[in-house]
Chains A and B, each alone.
Chain A
Amino acid sequence: MSNTKAFQRLAGLFLLLALSSATKADSYMGRMVDSAADNSRLALDFSSRGSHLTKQDPIAYTHALGFDWLTVISDDKKDIGTLLLQGYLTRLHNTQMFPGFFQDEDDTEFVYRIFNFNYTALPGNLPNIRIGHMEVPYGLEHVINTNGTLRQYAQPKNLGIKADWGVSLNKQHKEFEYEVAATTGGGQSLDRQDGSYVFSGRVGSPRDENFSYGVSLYRSKLKNLQRERLGIDARYHIGLHGIFAEMSLGQNGDIEIRNAQVEWNRINRRENITGFTQLRYFSAEQASGRYADTLDGSIGIRYSPDNSWTLSSQYTRDIDTAAGADKQSVFSIQVRYRYFPLNRK
């Protein structure tokens, strides 16, 4: 199904929500709609990125203009759920390495980032139920949000997908947290593509601790390629420094896959400057039984001078490539501005 159809379905859902606001104000539904309005956070989000790939001229641009809307729907005594909608009109220009939902290197598409409702009203230890477009719960990416930022982890290369439409069960407990998802494998599309599917899940210790870790499982069929992964990840913070690591083992079809990544980062006291460096290792078994290894590294910085602006830059370079392929490097700069039009009570 096309993005347009997906959007129409969602628009219908939200129209129903909007109509419910026409019910009398003191009704249960009316109070929930009021709470959604009162608890609303809205940002208009603009970003412009320029990337220069080795030996490529001209520079590749990605411009995104979108909205980021978060609200909590409540009744008198409890939260019912959280609605988070992020949609971006995204324009590529000369972008050679583009995600599959773009037609070519000079395309414009409406892109859903996170677009879901998390129902949180089940009592006790029963899980929350998330439905919509969500990040595939796996590894470091599940803990550190990198949507719309230069800093990325190995998720797309390792799993073949970063976010997808589907449903998940999730919960934070005092001692652990988890999210288990079943999604369509359609990526930006609501529908399955050639029988695609994704099952993924991560169980981890509470992410706010100075040392946290998690175990992830993943199984998918995307573009007729079956993938399986078992991953572990860990984060350790000491003072202003952080060390993150993730390791995965598994298969792409019959090919054994091993990959790992490690990051060291440092923040300043105000936490408006983050510097980081990453190493990513990816290894795939060849027909000969030997492994073809690749290694790349990134160094980057992000600076937020105020609540709206974020300036970031990153340099990524291949350190070791498989079968003597050309070593590439990419230098990127991004400017991001978030404008907050609502200033409710």
Chain B
Amino acid sequence: MDIQLIVKALKRSLPVISLLFFMLPSTLNAQAFCALRDPAEAIQKLYPQSSTYRSVVRTIDESVRQEVSAKVPPHALHFSELGRHTLYMVFQGDNPMGYVHVRSEQSEWGLVEIAWAIDMDMKIADFTFQRCRNRYKSTIESDSFKNQIKGKDFEQMKALLVAEQFTLRTDALVVEPKAVPLAQVLVRCGIKTLLVTELAWREEIVKNELLDTARSSFSNTVDIEMVSRPVTTQVLSSLNNEFDGASPGIDRSSVSLAKVLDDSGAILGAMYRGEVNIDRKKSAIIWAVAPDGEVINIVNRSGWQQNATKQAFESNVGKKFTTGTQCSDRTQLTTMEAVLTAQPIFVVN
């Protein structure tokens, strides 16, 4: 082999290489797209009753990476985890059953690829390894281990690890000692999956939450239509008048609103979703409101922290809220805000 020839070749390629170096940075994996495949077998395993699934591709970008770093500092996303990723929405007939998201986590044995089933309330429903070269894979996939993970939400998964660390809390899970390293990888991956899914696919998740709750609140619900700017200047002005410029505590930047439609397209009601700090936890609460202002349903999809809070909110169901003077506690004030924000939907109708 003539070294001079190689040097000559590299010299010739140099202008092209230099030009490429100046190009913008990218956000995807270096492999060609023909290597990407749907996790069809995993979806069948995780949701045996499912009939179809739909891919939703979104970008996990620097803003998501920063939010993950802020919320779970030890679990920052590596740059190779950024780029276009797919969330699979799984259906049984017309009804959404949940989601599947596949994430890779670095380990001592190369990348471990896990397909996560997430239910409509953003809790772990199940998981399966797409690829794992650790010999304790079957231990972690056993029912006895899985049952300790199923049903956990982001906060509960986070609580399995020693705060701000990668290590599993000794009392968190029952697992044989040799399988602990893989269990740690799994929990870390689960934490990131729940958080990243919520951040990157928020729009789709909120819509599904509202549709699911609408179906249990209004019979004849066929679809919902999201309202693009729910808190308009007009709504804000009416809220300020009603509450004298104060706020009952709903984070107005988090509000989502949807019209509930029957098969003819007529509006059956409205679904309002807002994030509220209750019982020292930020919770997303959904109100179903009828066109006459009657509250049809109030749901906290992540579960109420205290029974008293649940009862206080649910006591507002069946009531109509028209003025702030009717309100004697915070549950009624937040309900009043939901009803007032939803009202313009029915006026337009």
B-binding residues in A (CB < 8 A):
38-41, 43, 45-46, 48, 50, 52, 57-59, 61, 63, 68-70, 72, 74-79, 82, 84, 86, 113-114, 120, 123, 135, 145, 147-148, 171-174, 177, 206, 208, 210, 237-240, 267-272, 304, 306-310, 331, 333, 335-340, 343-345
Q: Give the contacting residue for B57; candidates A72, A147, A308; CB below 8 A.
A: A72
Assembly CA distance A177 to B38 (angstroms):
13
Contact check, A123 vs B84: say whether CB atoms are below 8 A apart. Answer: no
Q: Which residues of A are found within 8 Å of B107, using beta-carbon distances?
A: 269
Contacts of B59 in A (CB 8 A): 343-345
- Give complex CA distance A207, B111 in Å: 16
Q: Can you list 10 A-B contacts (CB < 8 A)?
A: A41-B33, A52-B6, A61-B9, A86-B33, A145-B34, A172-B40, A269-B106, A271-B110, A331-B1, A331-B6
Task: Report if B55 contacts A (CB, 8 A).
Answer: yes
Contact in complex: A77, B32 (CB < 8 Å): no
With a cutoff of 8 Å between Cβ atoms, the chain A residues found around residue B6 in the complex are 50, 52, 59, 331, 333
Q: Would you call A269 and B110 a contact (CB within 8 A)?
A: yes
B interface SS class:
mixed
Q: How many residues of B contact A (CB 8 A)?
A: 61
Question: Measured between alpha carbons, how far is A308 from B45 in the docked complex, in Å?
Answer: 33
Chain B residues in 8 Å Cβ range of A174: 41, 44-45
Which A-B residue pairs are the 9 nearest by beta carbons?
A: A78-B52, A70-B33, A50-B9, A39-B57, A72-B55, A340-B26, A172-B40, A308-B26, A304-B30
Q: Which residue of A lies closest to B13 (CB)?
A: A48
Told that A270-B111, A338-B30 touch, could you supply 10 new A-B pairs with CB distance under 8 A? A50-B9, A52-B9, A70-B34, A268-B110, A270-B80, A307-B28, A337-B20, A338-B26, A339-B20, A340-B27
- For residue B281, CB closer than 8 A to chain A, the reply is no
Q: Are B8 and A59 in contact (CB under 8 A)?
A: yes
Expressed in whole angstroms, the Cα–Cα distance for A48 and B1 within the complex equals 20
User: How far in angstroms is the closest Cβ of chain B from A131?
Assistant: 15
* Given A39-B56, A52-B6: A239 in contact with B28 (beta carbons within 8 A): no
Interface centre among B13, B44, B110 (most CB of A within 10 A): B110
Q: Are A340 and B28 in contact (CB under 8 A)?
A: yes
Q: How far is the CA of A307 from the CA of B32 in the complex (A)?
A: 11
Cα-based distance from A237 to B94 in the complex (angstroms): 40
Q: Known contacts A52-B2, A174-B45, A269-B110; is A76 also within 8 Å of B54 by CB?
A: yes
Taking a contact as CB atoms under 8 Å apart, the answer to whether B133 and A43 are in contact is no
B348 within 8 A of A: no
Say whether A77 contacts B109, CB under 8 Å.
no
Whose C-beta in chain B lies nearest to the C-beta of A344? B59
Is residue B308 contacting chain A, with contact meaning CB distance below 8 A? no
